[in-house]
Amino acid sequence: MSGGNHRKSPNQRFPRKGRLPIVDMMPDLPPVTFEIGPGDWARIQAAYGIAFSDDDKTAISEFVAHYLKFQRCESSTKTYKQTIDQLKVFHRKLQQTTQSLETINSEESGLELISQFAALGYTVTLPGLRKLLRDLGRASERAVLELARPEAQDGGFEQGGVWRLLIIRLLDFAKERGLRTTISKAKSNEEVHSPFVEFVRALQECFPEEYRWHGQSKPALAHALSQIQSQWVRAGE
C-alpha cells in the first residue's frame, strides 16, 4: 500500500490542544491513497484470530479511508494559541504601517503603498487607506480578545479526535459481530495482548507511517485504546 504526504511525525500521542473549527484542506497536496493487500488481510485476521468476510473487509476499509481523509483535515487546523500569536503579529504590523501613513501628507508620498493595493484590485485613496488599516487593526484586536476567552475555545477540533472515531467505529463493528472488545493490560510488547489490541496494531501497520497513533509500543496502544473503550462502554449504558 502507499500513502500521501503528511506533515505529522509518526507514532502520535494525544496532545490536548484546542483547535479552530476551521479546516484547511491543503489542496496543494495529493490525496492519501490506501489499500489493504491480501498479505495485509492475512496478518490482520491472524492478529484478531478470525477470518473476515468480504463485507467485513469492505466496512473496515471504508472506516480507514474516512479516517485518513479527515485526519489530514484535523492535522491542518491551527491551535487557538497559534492563531492568536499570528493575529498579534499581524496587529503589530498594521500598527507600524498605520503610523507610517500618518506621516504621509500627500497622495504622491503614499503612491507606493496605494499601488500595492491597486495590484490586488483595490482602488483606495490615502484617507481611505488610513481608515481601512485602522478598521483592520481594531478588528484584529477584537479577534485576539475573543479567541483568548476560555469559553470561545470549547468548540473546534481536538487533535486525536478522528482517530478516536475510527476506534469507536471498530469497536461497534466488533460488537455487532460478537467479537472480543476487551483491552488487556500487558506491560510489554512480548506479552500476549487482547485480540482487539493486536487487531488495531496490525491494521495501523497498513497506514502511512505518519497516520499511526501510539505505535511506539503495544502497552502504549493498549492504554490509549482502553481509555476510548471505557468511554465507549459508558456511552452504551
Which is more confidently placed, 142 or 188?
Answer: 142
Bridge partners of 18, per DSSP, are 158
b (16+ CB within 10 A) / e for 198-220: bbbbbbbebbbebbbbbbeebbe
pLDDT of residue 15: 41
Instruction: Name the CA radius of gyration of the chain, rounded.
Output: 25
On the question of pLDDT at 6 being above 50, the answer is no
On the question of pLDDT at 27 being above 70, the answer is no
Residue 62, CB half-sphere, CA atoms under 13 Å: how many?
Answer: 8
On whether the CB atoms of residues 219 and 192 are closer than 8 A, the answer is no
Task: Pull the grid cell for residue 174.
Answer: 466488533
Mean local confidence (pLDDT), 41-51: 96
The C-alpha angle 206, 212, 214, rounded to 5 degrees, equals 130
On whether the CB atoms of residues 185 and 46 are closer than 8 A, the answer is no
What's the mean per-residue pLDDT of the chain? Answer: 79
Place of cell 495590484: 119
On the question of pLDDT at 75 being above 60, the answer is yes
Residue 71, CB half-sphere, CA atoms under 13 Å: how many?
Answer: 29
- Phi, psi at 9, each rounded to 5°: -80, 155
What is the DSSP annotation of 6-45?
A: --SPSSB-----BB-S-----TTSPPPP----HHHHHHHH
User: How far is residue 236 CA from its own chain's centroid?
Assistant: 26
Question: What is the widest separation between alpha-carbon atoms in the chain?
Answer: 80
Domain-wise residue ranges, the chain: 38-77+159-236, 80-153
> Cα separation of 97 and 114, whole Å?
12
On the question of pLDDT at 23 being above 60, the answer is no
> Cα separation of 101 and 85, whole Å?
25
Measured in residues, the chain has a length of 237
Mean local confidence (pLDDT), 1-13: 40
> Cα separation of 34 and 68, whole Å?
8
